Amino acid sequence: MAETDEERAKRYAELEASYPTLTAEEYTRRSRRSVLTGGAAALAGLAGWRWIQNSPEDRNIPAPLRDVHEANEALWRALHRDNHLAPTFDSSRSSMMRVNGRRGIDNEIDLASWSMSVRDEGEEIRTHTMDAVLELPKQEMTVEHKCVEGWSHIVTWGGVRFSDFLEAHHPDKLASPTEFVSLETPDRGFYVGIDWASMLHPQTLLAYELQGEALDQDHGAPLRLVTPLKYGIKQLKRIGVIEFTNTQPADFWGERGYDWYAGL
């Protein structure tokens, strides 16, 4: 049976009648106490705000915010699963991407003489040419590239899995992994640090193609890092050095106020 308007009015009246009441005197006392409590809470909030703003900076943001970045990192690293994949798209939905930064690649290089140094805690262990990459199975992947600035763009990459590269050339590292991988441009004008799990993810590529064509220098020729697990600020162009390390690597944008992890 539907409730009539009269029944509803009665129910409302009963509900309202169930609430306690105060005398004028009690009300005044209560108001005074509430205003004092509220004022104290507002001051505490303001003090907390000023404490954050006046805290010493840790890599360009107040230290408490850096601490939260690190707590967030611990949470999302714990939740990382290799089988959680970034959505992929049909390549027909992809198009050429803008060039958003030239740090570390602002001069043209001779691609023929390019090589990539692989280091372990600072010690060079190998130098690779493009052949070491091109001999591995090629992966094509159409994913959404996301920038910290908010824009995103669906692009098609071609390259090899970093995990395949390790398996082929540095299998000992698969057996005894380090916590981080550091990547640098040849001139060290740009550098990033990435956690091991993200590097080993099946969608993390050493890429040499964009939109079905060889990378141009503005997009990181001859070889760049691509991973939909990180914002673009981590996807270093023109790899010069790859280093395995257990010390958290320096990170260009991480030093400038951004989250070191920058995971997606």
Partner 1 sequence: MTSTLEPDIDGPAPPAAKMKHPRAVRWMHWINFPLLMLMIWTGYRIYWADLRDPFVLGVGDYSFFEFWPGWINENLELERRLARGMAFHFSFAWLFTLNGIAYGLYTWRSGEWRQIVPERGTLRDSLQVFLHDLGIGRSKPLPPQARYNGAQRLTYSFILVLGAIEVLTGLAIYKPTQLSLLTTLFGGYESARLIHFGITIVFLVFFVVHLLQVGRAGWANFMSMVNGYEKQKTSSEGSHHG
Q: What is the spatial distance between Cα 55 and Cα 194, in angstroms, rounded to a whole number?
A: 27
For position 234 contacting partner 1 by CB under 8 A, the verdict is: no
**Contact between 50 and partner 1 (CB under 8 A)?**
no
Pull the structure tokens for residue 5. 């308007």
Q: Which of 79, 92, 113, 131 binds partner 1 (CB under 8 A)?
A: 79
Burial of 212 (0-12, 13-18, 19+ CB in 10 A): exposed
108 binds partner 1 (CB under 8 A): no
Select the residue interacting with partner 1 from 40, 43, 50, 60 (CB under 8 A).
60
Contacting residue, 40, 44, 82, 84, with partner 1 by CB under 8 A: 84
Question: How far apart are CB 64 and partner 1 at their closest, in Å?
Answer: 8
1, 16, 137, 175: residue in contact with partner 1 (rule CB under 8 A) = 16
Residue 46, H or E segment: helix 24-54
* CB 117, CB 241: distance < 8 Å: yes
C-alpha 73/C-alpha 65 separation (Å) is 12
Expressed in angstroms, the distance from the first to the final Cα of the chain is 52
5 lies in the binding site for partner 1 (CB under 8 A): yes
**Interface positions with partner 1 (CB under 8 A):** 2-3, 5, 8-9, 12-13, 15-16, 19-24, 26-27, 30-31, 33-35, 38, 41, 45, 60-62, 64-66, 68-69, 72, 76, 79-81, 84-87, 144, 146-152, 228-229, 253, 256-259, 263-264
